Amino acid sequence: MLIAAGGNVINDYFDTRIDRINKPDKVIVGRRVKRRVAITTHLALSGLGLLLGVFVAWRTGMLQWALIPAFSIGALWTYSTTFKRQLIIGNGLVATLAALVPLTVGLYELPLLKRAFATPQVLTVPDGTQYEIEPVLPEFWYWILGYAAFAFMSTLVRELQKDMADVKGDEAEGCRTVPIVWGMRWAKGIALFHIGVIVTGLLLVRAWLPDHSLTHWYIGIGIIGPLLLSAGFTYIAHSRKEHVTAGHIMKLAMLMAIGYTLIIPSLP
């Protein structure tokens, strides 16, 4: 969270001229916050995030994963300075960073679970029967990889929606985003295609758990509903306001998907 916050600060720092065109009333850096304060804040947030990341990697005995926060900081800086203005690369980089969040959980937790259960754990029930307990690691990976895929594709859609909303300022600054280089029709098509893939995946999850009514209704109304609504707004959008609305609804779908983690423990 600290690294993401630092990334948002540095993005605002480098996007001042673009934001003056796209959203002049919401420009912060250079108006309400001095530029040197913004840089200092970025360094402080990112530095603290890196220290915490290195501490967790050291504490768990997996120091190699200290590369994750270091990579994230470098990627966010490079995105703000260079990749944001290049075709597809910036969108893919932000989507990859979003997918790293659930993946990091798996990279840390599953080896620790395996280590904890290296010595067989025995459960004795009241009648004296004993059962050996083992962690269901493959099933954990299904959920982690599923969430990583959702995070990647939904963030990619959100980035495309932002590019479509910000096309005026991006074009003035010489950015080569999808709607500028390939046109608005292609940008909408790519976004709608990925929403379709996400919806298909969610329907497969519902089919996998046919007897869990809460999953059936939550995914159908809470996640697929906003996704389809966002797709509809994306398809009909012509103004910046309409593209921004589509992006806000996509954020709601992402939030609802995170909320489903509270339901997973109740699955049979």
What does the pLDDT average to over 156-164? 96
Choice between 134 and 19, residue whose per-residue pLDDT is larger:
19
One domain for residues 13 and 92? no
**Torsion on CA atoms 233, 253, 6, 8, rounded to nearest 10:** 0
Are the C-beta atoms of residues 9 and 47 closer than 8 Å to each other?
A: no
One domain for residues 257 and 136? yes
Indicate whether 228 pLDDT > 80.
yes
One domain for residues 236 and 181? yes
Q: What pLDDT score was predicted for residue 164?
A: 96
Choice between 143 and 116, residue whose per-residue pLDDT is larger:
143
Asked if residue 91 belongs to a domain, the reply is yes
Are the C-beta atoms of residues 57 and 63 closer than 8 Å to each other?
A: yes
- Full DSSP string of the chain: -HHHHHHHHHHHHHTHHHHHHH-GGG--BTTTB-HHHHHHHHHHHHHHHHHHHHHHHHHTT-GGGGHHHHHHHHHHHHHHHTGGGSTTHHHHHHHHHHHHHHHHHHHHHHHHHHHHTSSPEEEE-TTS-EEEE---HHHHHHHHHHHHHHHHHHHHHHHHHHHHHTHHHHHHTT---HHHHT-HHHHHHHHHHHHHHHHHHHHHHHHHSTT-HHHHHIIIIIIIHHHHHHHHHHHH--SHHHHHHHHHHHHHHHHHHHHGGGTGGG--
One domain for residues 52 and 161? no
One domain for residues 169 and 242? yes
- Report the C-alpha gap between 166 and 248 in whole angstroms: 14
One domain for residues 26 and 88? no
One domain for residues 123 and 232? yes
Q: Which residues, including other chains, have CB under 8 Å from residue 27's CB and lie 6 or more apart?
A: 16, 19, 20
Nearest of 170, 151, 162, 168 to residue 187 by alpha carbon: 162
Indicate whether 118 pLDDT > 90.
no
Least confident window among 1-15, 16-30, 101-115, 240-254? 16-30
One domain for residues 56 and 89? no
Provide the percentage of residues in the chain whose pLDDT is more than 70. Answer: 99
Q: Which residues, including other chains, have CB under 8 Å from residue 9's CB and lie 6 or more apart?
A: 38, 41, 42, 45
Indicate whether 161 pLDDT > 90.
yes
- Among residues 66, 91, 108, the one where a domain terminates is 66
Q: What pLDDT score was predicted for residue 193?
A: 98
Are the C-beta atoms of residues 177 and 132 closer than 8 Å to each other?
A: no
pLDDT band at 107 (very low <50, low <70, confident <90, very high): very high
How many domains does the chain divide into? 2
Write out the residue range of the structural domain in which residue 256 sits. Answer: 82-266
Locus of tokens 């932000």: 94
- Full DSSP string of 90-130: HHHHHHHHHHHHHHHHHHHHHHHHHHHTSSPEEEE-TTS-E
Nearest of 214, 201, 204 to residue 263 by alpha carbon: 214
One domain for residues 147 and 220? yes
Locus of tokens 């995914």: 219
Backbone angles phi, psi at 52, to 5 degrees: -65, -40
One domain for residues 57 and 86? no
One domain for residues 33 and 98? no
pLDDT band at 115 (very low <50, low <70, confident <90, very high): confident
- Among residues 38, 66, 94, the one where a domain terminates is 66
Indicate whether 77 pLDDT > 80.
yes
Q: What is the pTM of this model?
A: 0.90
One domain for residues 55 and 114? no
pLDDT digits (tens, 9 = 90+) for 12-62: 898 888 888 888 888 888 788 898 999 999 999 999 999 999 999 999 999
